[in-house]
Structures are given as C-alpha cells and as structure tokens.
C-alpha cells in the first residue's frame, strides 16, 4: 500500500491533470469555433466579391470601372489570404486537438472515479501512460491566445466550483 504522502501527491497530480485537460478542451473548442467562423466568413466574402458582383449590373461596371477593379482585386486578395491563413488543414488540426484533449479529460475523470489517490499500481500506470500520450500533443502550429487561456481556466474553475 502506498504511503500517505504518495497518495496525496498522486491525488494532486491527477486533479491538476484533469483540470488542465478540461481547460484544454474548452480552449481548443473555442479556437476551433473561431477558425471555422473566420473560414466561413472569408468564403462568403470571396463568393460575394467574385461571383455575385460579376453579374450584378454590367452597365454599372461600365460606368464605374474603378469600382469593378477594386472589387475584383479584393476578391483575389481575400482568396489568397483565405488559402494561406485559413486552410482546411488548420481547422482539421484544431478539431483533432479538441478530440485529443477530450480523450485525456475523460481518462482522468475515469481514474478519479476509480480512486483519486491512484493507490492500485494499475491505476498509477494508466495515469502515467495517459501523461505520456499527452506529452505528444503538438500545439506548436497555433499561437497561444492568453486572453482565451484565462477565460478557459476561469470556465473550468467555475464549472468545478473552485
């Protein structure tokens, strides 16, 4: 049987890992929603400035050729900007991060429900295995949003009543 300090240490480590995973779920869900929204809005702007304006009123464009040039230039710039900064790959990666952190949070909650002190050696090994998998999560392609991190931490504290 584990000693009391080990049990307390295990409990604190599991609790902190669980809160961290829950915070990451909240954070990456918000990041994914933001990316999806920006992606949708940029696609709509490209659509609006490319297809709809070309047909809208030929006589208007004949009278105001500079407006037409501006709109077609804007459409091209938006299309390039969208493909460069908001590729589908970026959205896929953020959604994959949500899924990974949900898995970790669930695993920590299950361990907590079994024994928050992780006294059985099997539970401690399961915890360590989850921590090792967590260490391989790659978030490096995203710039951290400090404001959203604080919001995520506050949401978890509020949800947990701490």
The model's pLDDT over 56-103, given as tens digits with 9 standing for 90+, comes to 555 666 666 676 667 667 666 766 666 666 667 888 899 999 999 999
pLDDT for res 47: 72
30-37 CB contacts, 8 Å cutoff, 24+ apart: 30/148, 30/151, 30/152, 31/94, 31/97, 31/142, 31/145, 31/148, 32/91, 32/94, 32/95, 32/97, 32/98, 35/86, 35/90, 35/91, 35/94, 36/91
Q: Residue 109 pLDDT > 90, yes or no?
A: yes
Q: Residue 53 pLDDT > 60, yes or no?
A: no
pLDDT for res 1: 47
Domain definitions of the chain by residue range = 8-160
Of residues 77 and 105, more confidently modeled: 105
């Amino acid at each position: 049987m584990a000693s009391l300090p080990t049990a307390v240490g295990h409990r604190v480590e599991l609790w902190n890992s669980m809160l961290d995973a829950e915070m990451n779920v909240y954070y990456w869900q918000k990041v994914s929603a933001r990316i999806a929204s920006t992606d949708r809005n940029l696609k709509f702007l490209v659509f609006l400035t490319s297809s709809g304006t070309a047909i809208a009123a030929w006589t208007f464009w004949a009278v105001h050729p500079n407006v037409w040039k501006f709109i077609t230039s804007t459409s091209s710039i938006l299309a390039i900007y969208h493909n460069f900064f908001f590729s589908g790959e970026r959205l896929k990666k953020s959604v994959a991060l949500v899924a990974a952190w949900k898995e970790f949070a669930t695993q920590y909650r299950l361990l907590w429900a079994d024994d928050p002190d992780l006294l059985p050696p099997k539970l401690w090994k399961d915890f360590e295995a989850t921590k090792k998998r967590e260490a391989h999560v790659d978030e490096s392609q995203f710039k951290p949003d400090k404001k959203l991190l604080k919001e995520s931490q506050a949401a978890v504290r509020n949800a947990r009543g701490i």
